[in-house]
Structure 1
Amino acid sequence: MREWVKHQDPNNKYGAKFTLGDRDVELPQTAIISVTRGENFNIFRIMINGTINNFVKKQLQKNENLLYAELSGQLQGGVGQTITVWKKGSSMNNFRKKGAHKFAMRFFSWVFYGGKVQAYYLTWKISNSIPEDNEIKEIVKKYGKHYDGGKLLKSAQQPPLI
């Protein structure tokens, strides 16, 4: 079974990234990437988000249709981001509807939709390789669905094929 690997942020002792799989994986033509990003989490929301992520990580680890996953967070700025790369879109949709992820969406949505949290969501088709972290941040903020404290400000748009 694949294992999660922790990468401590060398510039921030309160930041880390967890990866599952190889970022340089060969992508099939049907591959999609899904990004969930939250900013301005307070300490309580960060702790809840981290706890929920531990359950979701176990579910991701068992999924054969997942090509790559990355969970990252920074205490300063209250940032949390999840990146998943799937063989095809239906694989991601099936994952979202079951297990720990379904539970998290149902009972802990207030973590992403309350307070001063800025939440971004986007799923899009990728072709050659997984974009770098700074590109992903730009893409999800420019094209993704955007919520401010739970209020929808912008619907998602498909970015150009990368």
Structure 2
Amino acid sequence: MQKWVRHEDPNNKYGATFTLGDNSVSLPKGAVVSVTRGENFNIPRLIINGLLNQFIMKALTKNENLLYAELTGQLQGGVGQTLTVWKDPKLMNNFRTKGFHNFSRRFFSWIFYSGSVKAYFHTWKLTETIPSSDEAGKFVIENGRFFQGGKLIRKANHHKVG
């Protein structure tokens, strides 16, 4: 079983990245990346989101369909981002809609869909390499499904990158 590795941010004592696997993994045909990003989380939302992520992170370590995962967070700005890479979109969707992830997604949706939270979601096919966390963040902000305070502002643009 793979283990999560914590990477401290030397420039930000309130930020860290957690990785599972190797981002230079060989990508099979049909591999997809899925990015979820939330901004403007207040402290209670950050705490609850962090607790939920602990359960989801544990489930990801047991999933043989996951190729790579990366979670980043920053206290300033209340930012949290998850990047996962899957063998194919059906396997990713199966994880998303089953078990604890599905429970969290439905029961705690107010974390992403209320207050001043900005939420971005996007999944796309990978062709060559896994994007860096910064590249994925920029891409999901520019092209992902975007909600502000729970209101859909923009649907996802379906570009293929990576």
TM-score when scaled to structure 1?
A: 0.98
The residue identity in structure 1 corresponding to 2:10 is P
After superposition, where does 1:19-58 map in structure 2 within 5 Å? 19-58=19-58
CA distance in 1 between counterparts of 2:134 and 2:73 reads 14
Identity of aligned residues (%): 59
- SS state of the match for residue 80, structure 2? strand
Q: What is the CA-CA distance between 1:161 and the residue it aligns to? A: 3.0
Aligned residue number for residue 141 of structure 2? 141
Q: What is the CA-CA distance between 1:137 and the residue it aligns to? A: 1.2
The residue identity in structure 2 corresponding to 1:151 is K
Please, which runs of 5 or more residues in structure 2 have no aligned partner?
A: none
CA distance in 2 between counterparts of 1:117 and 1:77 reads 10
CA distance in 1 between counterparts of 2:134 and 2:33 reads 15
CA distance in 1 between counterparts of 2:71 and 2:161 reads 23
Aligned residue number for residue 7 of structure 1? 7
Q: What is the CA-CA distance between 1:155 and the residue it aligns to? A: 0.2
CA distance in 2 between counterparts of 1:161 and 1:108 reads 31
Runs of 4+ in 1 over 6 A off after TM superposition: none
TM-score when scaled to structure 2?
A: 0.98
CA distance in 2 between counterparts of 1:59 and 1:109 reads 19
Whether the 8 Å contact between 1:113 and 1:150 is mirrored in structure 2 is: yes
* Matched positions, count: 162
The residue identity in structure 1 corresponding to 2:59 is Q
Whether the 8 Å contact between 1:139 and 1:159 is mirrored in structure 2 is: no
User: Which region of structure 1 is more displaced relative to structure 2, 11-20 or 128-137?
Assistant: 128-137
Aligned residue number for residue 100 of structure 2? 100
Q: What is the CA-CA distance between 1:61 and the residue it aligns to? A: 0.7
CA distance in 1 between counterparts of 2:66 and 2:160 reads 23
The residue identity in structure 2 corresponding to 1:58 is K
RMSD of the alignment, in Å?
Answer: 0.8
Whether the 8 Å contact between 2:15 and 2:72 is mirrored in structure 1 is: yes
Aligned residue number for residue 116 of structure 1? 116
CA distance in 1 between counterparts of 2:97 and 2:133 reads 27
The residue identity in structure 2 corresponding to 1:61 is T
Whether the 8 Å contact between 2:40 and 2:118 is mirrored in structure 1 is: yes
Aligned residue number for residue 70 of structure 2? 70
